[in-house]
C-alpha cells in the first residue's frame, strides 16, 4: 500500500508536463518527465537495484531517496489517538551508506542521479494484527512534515559531501572511525562504498589495516 509520504514526494517532483505511475516495459515509473524517469524510493534501495540498472542504461534517471532525520510517532488504537512522541533515534546523511553497500553495483552510471532528501516525518502506529508480532506494533502510514535539506550525488566523489568531517587523503577504516566518531564496522561499510564506486582505492596496508587513498577527480562511469 502506498504511503502518504510516497504520494507527497511524487507530487513534489511532478511538474505540469509530467505524468505519474506510467508503465514502461516491465516496470512502473513514479514520475515521467519526457525522457527523464524519476523513482521515489522510501524503502530499501536494494529492492530497485535491478530495475534502476536496466532503465538507466537507456534513460536519464533520478532516484529520490528520503533519509529520516526526526520521526514523530503517533500511537493509535481503533479511532483513538493514545499519544504522540519524538523517536529517540535520529538520522543523517551518513545513513545512506548502510544502503549503498547494496547499491554500488548500480551507482555511478552516466545517466543516473541520486537525490537525497533529509526529512522529518509523522509515523502512525497501531497494535499488531497478530499478537506474536515481535515489534509490538504495525506502521499504518508515514507522512512528510518537512524537507530539511537536499544533496545530489552524480559522481563518486560526491560521497565525501555526506561526511561530517574531512578525512585525510590517505586513511584506514580505524582512522575514519575515529575522525567521524562512528564504529569501525560502519567505517568499513563507508570505505567499501568509496572503493567500489571509485571514490577511493586501496594502496597497501598499515600493519593488518588496508590503507585507502581518496580519488577526488572521478567522473561518471561510462
- Candidates 65, 62, 46, 57; CA nearest to 5 is 65
Query: From CA 220, how far away is CA 222, in angstroms rounded?
Result: 6
Do the beta carbons of residue 1 and residue 7 sit within 8 Å? no
Q: Which three cell numbers stand for residue 21?
A: 505511475
pLDDT value at 218 more than 70? no
Residue 147 contacts residue 141 (beta carbons within 8 Å): no
What tens digit of pLDDT does each residue of 149-204 get?
A: 999 999 999 999 999 999 999 999 999 999 999 999 999 999 999 999 999 999 99
- Judging by DSSP bridges, how do beta strands 112-126 and 60-77 pair with one another? parallel
pLDDT of residue 136: 76
User: pLDDT by residue (tens digit) across 36-91?
Assistant: 999 999 999 999 999 999 999 999 999 999 999 999 999 988 888 889 999 999 99
**What domains does the chain contain, in order, with CATH numbers?**
4-154 (no CATH), 155-222 (3.30.63.20)
Amino acid at each position: 500500500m502506498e504511503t502518504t509520504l510516497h504520494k507527497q514526494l511524487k507530487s513534489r517532483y511532478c511538474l505540469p508536463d509530467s505524468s505519474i505511475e506510467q508503465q514502461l516495459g516491465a516496470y512502473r515509473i513514479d514520475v515521467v518527465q519526457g525522457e527523464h524517469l524519476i523513482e521515489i524510493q522510501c524503502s530499501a534501495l536494494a529492492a530497485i537495484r535491478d530495475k534502476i540498472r536496466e532503465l538507466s542504461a537507456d534513460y536519464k534517471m533520478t532516484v529520490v531517496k528520503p533519509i529520516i532525520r526526526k520521526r514523530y510517532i503517533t500511537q493509535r488504537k481503533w479511532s483513538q489517538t493514545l499519544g504522540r512522541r519524538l523517536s529517540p533515534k535520529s538520522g543523517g546523511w551518513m545513513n545512506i551508506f548502510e544502503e549503498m553497500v547494496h547499491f554500488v553495483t548500480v551507482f555511478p552510471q552516466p545517466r543516473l542521479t541520486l537525490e537525497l532528501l533529509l526529512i522529518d516525518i509523522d509515523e502512525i502506529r497501531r497494535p499488531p494484527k497478530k499478537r506474536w508480532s515481535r515489534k509490538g506494533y504495525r506502521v499504518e502510514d508515514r507522512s512528510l512534515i518537512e524537507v530539511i535539506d537536499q544533496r545530489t550525488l552524480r559522481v563518486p566523489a560526491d560521497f565525501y559531501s555526506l561526511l561530517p568531517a574531512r578525512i585525510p587523503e590517505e586513511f584506514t577504516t580505524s582512522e575514519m572511525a575515529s575522525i567521524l566518531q562512528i564504529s569501525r564496522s560502519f567505517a568499513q561499510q563507508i570505505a567499501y562504498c568509496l572503493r567500489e564506486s571509485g571514490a577511493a582505492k586501496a594502496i597497501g596496508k598499515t600493519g593488518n589495516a588496508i590503507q585507502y587513498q581518496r580519488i577526488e577527480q572521478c567522473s561518471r562511469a561510462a
